[in-house]
Amino acid sequence: MRFRLIGVLALTCAGLLALLSSCKDDNPTGEEGSPSNIVFPSTNVSYQQHVQPLFNQACAFAGCHDDGQHTSPLKLTSYGNAVLSIPGILVMNQPDQSTRVLRIEGRGGARMPLNQNPLNQNQINGIRTWIAEGARNN
């Protein structure tokens, strides 16, 4: 009986180890602590596929840049809000002139997302590329 229990435990542990080692990488960029696992391509960044999902996970939640009450008038819940809400936040084709880029990089005031893990370098580059490509609603 005792040996049977040890055998069952050994098989269970082996199965658990096999399962854990076969899990897909939830952080393919390898950067710990980023707010999501959204990975941006190096070109042809899609607002619908990349930018808005990142905003939803990292910026547009209760108390921050959602449609509810928060300290900033900037809302990141839709393309219209993200692009047209406040002059200078996003300057089409000019990521280095866009306050949004400066803030997520921590170079223009408090780093965003505030009091959260920073965006990873792939995500920052993706936002920069999206703006450089014209910040299209694609």
C-alpha 57/C-alpha 34 separation (Å) is 10
In-domain check, residue 67: yes
In-domain check, residue 108: yes
The yes-or-no verdict on residue 20 having pLDDT over 80 is: no
The yes-or-no verdict on residue 19 having pLDDT over 80 is: no
In-domain check, residue 35: no
43 versus 69: the higher-pLDDT residue is 43
The yes-or-no verdict on residue 26 having pLDDT over 70 is: no
Residue 7's identity, in one-letter code, is: G
Average pLDDT on 73-95 reads 89
C-alpha 45/C-alpha 40 separation (Å) is 7
Specify the pLDDT at position 34. Answer: 55
96 versus 62: the higher-pLDDT residue is 96
In-domain check, residue 12: no
pTM of the predicted structure, to 2 decimals? 0.72
Residue 51's identity, in one-letter code, is: V
In-domain check, residue 18: no
Residue 34's identity, in one-letter code, is: S
In-domain check, residue 15: no
Residues 6+ apart with CB under 8 A from 5: none
Helices (H) and strands (E) in the chain, counts: 5, 0
In-domain check, residue 3: no
Q: Predicted confidence band at 66 (pLDDT cuts at 50, 70, 90)?
A: confident
C-alpha 40/C-alpha 125 separation (Å) is 8
Cβ atoms 34, 119 nearer than 8 A: yes
What is the number of structural domains in the chain?
1
Tell me which residue range forms the domain holding 128.
Answer: 44-138
Specify the pLDDT at position 35. Answer: 61
Cβ atoms 75, 67 nearer than 8 A: yes
The yes-or-no verdict on residue 96 having pLDDT over 90 is: yes
In-domain check, residue 37: no
Report how far Cα 25 is from the mean position of its chain's Cα atoms: 15
Specify the pLDDT at position 10. Answer: 36
